[in-house]
Amino acid sequence: MISAKGYAAHTHESALELYSFERKDPGEYEVLIDIIYCGVCHADFHQSKNEYGNTKYPFVPGHEIVGRIRSIGEKVSKFKENELVGVGYFILSCGYCQSCIGQEQQFCENGITPTQNGKLQDGTFTKGGYSDCIVVNENYIVSVPETLNQPGAAPLLCAGITTYSSLKYNQIVAGHKVAILGLGGLGHMAVKFATSFGADVTVLSSSAAKEDDAKKLGAHHFVNTSDKEHFTTLVNTFDFIVDAVSAKHDYNRYLNLLKKDGIMILLGVPPEPSTLHAHSLTGKRRKITGSFIGGIEETQEMLYYCAKHQITADVELIRPNEINIAFERMIKGDVRYRFTIDMQKL
Ligand SMILES: [Zn+2]
Ligand SMILES: [Zn+2]
């Protein structure tokens, strides 16, 4: 066994605390990774509070991991010791269903094993990247280019691939008019990728204070959604709306901003259902769809793309013992745009 330490929640009411535990030695096809940085995703907070009802404690969050390989199993062929690598939302899938064969493991028909709170065959639950090391099968890690800014690269493993995959699958290219709804962790990555793909990008936000930031991130236009008059002029404007809002909101209001055949892509998952009027779709043959992280091959492709175009997340680097304050600030939307934990300071 390998002794590990990290930050864990012990109940849904407790803050994260320093926690020592053991990880199993790497198997034949597994690698042991020393974690350098881990991004802080909204899911980490919600799961620590058992908001999805299935959290097993002690719960160690973290699925935006950048680290270096300490050692490898005998049969590992894809990676070497000391390589810089990343681990994202899941560390296993069945490997033989249509989705897995098609390199879309995120939709594995037999269920993925998430990097945090995922049930393993032996009945134990996975512990995530708010820790000093992790053991992962070589087929579920990706190579991180050395030229990328490492703290900014960590959030690419969840927020980055979630937005990249949704834009690629929907074939968003130069000339498209794309609206990004919500400028948080996901939204700011959507702006970076959409502008880099050549789209004409508008940020829709209810916070007027974000206009400067939106422009700095590369957005061409900004619309304050509380400005009803301006909002009305946008009806039938966009080819795509990337909806990165996780709080309940009225989809119909935004669907009306799509042109004929326009597509609204949902990335955020509000806790409660929302009413959809059929007319919002039928009148202009609009579509509404969703997207969820990305496959391993696509995550690798994204990281190479990011290295080529020097794209990383805008992050605020924190020490591990600042995680509870970071959670509070993240929930208030008080972060531009992602926290990354420096796990070397553990
Ligand atoms: Zn995430
Ligand atoms: Zn599968």
For 131-153, the pLDDT digits (tens) are 999 999 999 999 999 999 999 99
Considering every ligand atom shown, identify the ligand nearest to the alpha carbon of residue 267 and give its number.
1
270 confidence band (pLDDT: 50, 70, 90): confident
pLDDT on residue 272: 86
Report phi then psi at 58, rounded to 5. -65, 135
Residue 176 CA, ligand 2 centroid: distance in Å: 33
Closest ligand by atom to 156 CA? 1
Taking the centre of ligand 2 as the mean of its atom positions, its distance from the CA of residue 93, in whole angstroms, is 5
Nearest-ligand number for the alpha carbon of 294: 1
Which two three-digit tokens encode residue 115? 């990097």
pLDDT at site 246: 87
Note the pLDDT of residue 301. 98
Q: Round to the nearest angstrom and report the end-to-end CA distance of the chain.
A: 20
Q: Which has more pLDDT, 269 or 239? A: 239
Q: How many A from CA of 166 to the centre of ligand 2?
A: 20
pLDDT of residue 138: 98
Please give the distance, rounded to the nearest whole angstrom, from the Cα atom of residue 330 to the centre of ligand 2: 33
Could you list which residues have their CB under 5 Å from ion ligand 2? 93-94, 97, 100, 108
Could you report the per-residue pLDDT of 12-51, keeping only the tens digit for each?
999 999 999 999 999 999 999 999 999 999 999 999 999 9
φ/ψ of 231, rounded to 5, equals: -60, -45
pLDDT at 235 exceeding the cut of 90: yes
Which of 128 and 208 is assigned the larger pLDDT? 128
Lowest mean pLDDT among 74-83, 172-181, 231-240, 264-273: 264-273
Residue type present at position 208: A
Q: How far is the CA of 100 from the centre of ligand 2 (A)?
A: 4
| C-beta separation of 234 from 262 below 8 A | no
306-323, pLDDT tens digit by residue? 999 999 999 999 999 999
Q: What is the pLDDT of residue 269?
A: 87
297 Cα–ligand 2 center, Å: 14
Cα distances (Å, whole numbers) of residue 181 to 15, 171, 249:
31, 18, 11
Average pLDDT over every residue of 49-55: 94
Structural domains of the chain in order of their starting residue, each with its CATH number: 2-158+294-345 (3.90.180.10), 160-290 (3.40.50.720)
Closest CA to 195 of 214, 181, 169, 170: 214
Interatomic CA distance for residues 279 and 312, integer angstroms: 39
pLDDT for residue 191 is more than 90: yes
Ligand 1 midpoint to CA 284 (Å)? 33
b/e map 64-75, b = 16+ CB within 10 Å: bbbbebebbbee
Ligand whose nearest atom lies closest to the CA of 107: 2
d(CA 236, ligand 1 centre) in Å: 32
Calculate mean pLDDT across residues 115-143. 97
Helices marked H in 197-270: 211-216, 228-232, 251-255
